[in-house]
Structure 1
Amino acid sequence: MRSLAIAALAALLAGPAFAELVKVDDQSEFVELTAGKTLTRPMVKLTVTPDGQIAGRGSLWDIEGSWSWQEGYFCRDLFWGGDALGYNCQQVQASADGRIKFTSDRGAGDSAMFTLR
């Protein structure tokens, strides 16, 4: 009986399982994931259009820029509130549960996780 109670408690305390992040290797796969969707995270909402544009809002400032796909990486040139954030090629990973992660410097730098809505 005690083991049944422990199993029930463990099931109640377990958080939701996250789907595994998988590297996005090509532009067509990336476009399929993001087309018609908004990338969101706290205080940030972005759209990444199939024709290479980025637009949205982060905190109180507009975000705009352009992107291309080069050698397996999402390469973007971004402006936030009019300030240039510069050009950077990023590794992209996505999950079946609607998360997408961008890691700067071709996967060696900082990362940001978004939800696709």
Structure 2
Amino acid sequence: MWKRISLVWLSTVLAGPAAAEFTRVSDEGTFRAIVTGKVLTRPLIRLQVSPEGEITGTGGPSDVAGSWTWRDGYFCRDLLWGKRNLGYNCQEVGVNGGKIRFTSDRGSGDYADFRLRSK
């Protein structure tokens, strides 16, 4: 019996708290309000996504530059990271408090979470 309780307790501790849910952003006006006046950060990355459709910042030692539009409920960006062309991709956007998540390939690919910080 104690062995069973210990295994349940250990699995609970190792699993940790459930991941926080992100709320999908499906309209451009809401997205613009979220990013206006903010810097999107994660380790070694600082980006600004302007309401006018421009992306600027740094990723590690390289500059990041690009443009974005809103299409059919998705953030669609064309991006250069240093000399590397990351190309065009439409991404699902989600928010959770002070975090924003971009999920590539219209929500079916990899995701990246950023903190939203005031400029």
Give the shorter-chain TM-score range: 0.7 to 0.9
TM-score of the two chains, using structure 1 as the length reference: 0.83
Q: CA deviation at 1:16?
A: 8.7
What is the CA RMSD across the aligned residues, in angstroms? 1.7
Instruction: Give 1:100's aligned residue.
Output: 100
Deviation of 1:28 (Å): 0.4
| Residue of structure 1 equivalent to 2:7 | none
Between the two proteins, the alignment pairs up a number of residues equal to 103
Deviation at 1:88, TM superposition (A): 0.1
Q: Which residue of 2 aligns with 1:4?
A: none
Task: Give the unaligned 5+ runs of structure 2.
Answer: 1-12
1:49 match: 50
Residue equivalent to 1:91: 92
Pairing 1:9-28 to 2, within 5 Å after superposition: 20-28=21-29
Equivalence for 1:66: 67
Percentage identity across aligned positions?
54
Which has a greater percent of strand? Answer: 2
Q: TM-score, normalised by structure 2?
A: 0.81
Deviates more, 1:53-62 or 1:77-86: 77-86
Partner SS, residue 89 of structure 2: strand
- Work out the CA distance in 2 between the residues paired with 1:115 and 1:16: 19
